[in-house]
Amino acid sequence: MKESKGPQRYTLESPLIIWFFGSKPIGYRCLEYLLQHKNIKIPYVITRAKDYEGWWNRGRKERIKVRDLAEKRNIPVFTHQEFLEFFKTHKPKNPHLVISVEHGYRIPKEILEYATIGGMNLHLAPLPMYRGCNTFSHAIINGDDEYWVTMHWMSPEFDAGEIIS
């Protein structure tokens, strides 16, 4: 694990505080997984606008929305822009981690540095080969035989941080 860098260091005895930025079914499943753990606290979820309907919900009886899952658990939910404003005006308690799963927006350096451990992103493609969006299309066009996801530390530049796994 990357060394904690702030006054609020994480120990196994204290809950791990995570700000979760995410959307789409994979974001929903990751948030659902994190919420199952008693030693993880998620005080804020940052996701799509309430009225946003993604392609992944077309034709589905049951809608998959990160927002709905967070609201069911009484976790405050923000859009990206709303959270940036909230962060500037309230300076909430430092999280240990910022986790991003299919968030779709660049998370500002100030927020990444505010987290005592740092920010992690689940990138749905091999890095550094496939940075950016819709990377599976490029892998198909290139005839790749293998494809995987990458967990990496976030940096101010998209998909450029140190690879974790």
Distance between CA 26 and CA 115 in Å, rounded? Answer: 23
How big is the chain, counted in residues?
A: 165
Taking only the tens place, the pLDDT of each residue in 44-92 is 999 987 665 655 556 655 667 899 999 999 999 999 999 999 999 998 9
Taking only the tens place, the pLDDT of each residue in 15-49 is 999 999 999 889 999 999 999 999 999 999 999 87
Distance between CA 35 and CA 123 in Å, rounded? Answer: 21
According to DSSP, the β-strands at 150-153 and 77-78 are unpaired
Does residue 20 sit in helix, strand or coil? strand
Domains and CATH numbers, the chain: 16-153 (3.40.50.170)
Measured from the Cβ of residue 19, the count of other Cβ atoms closer than 10 Å reads: 25
Distance between CA 110 and CA 154 in Å, rounded? Answer: 12
> CB–CB of 24/102 below 8 Å?
yes
What pLDDT shows up at residue 135? Answer: 84
Distance between CA 145 and CA 105 in Å, rounded? Answer: 29
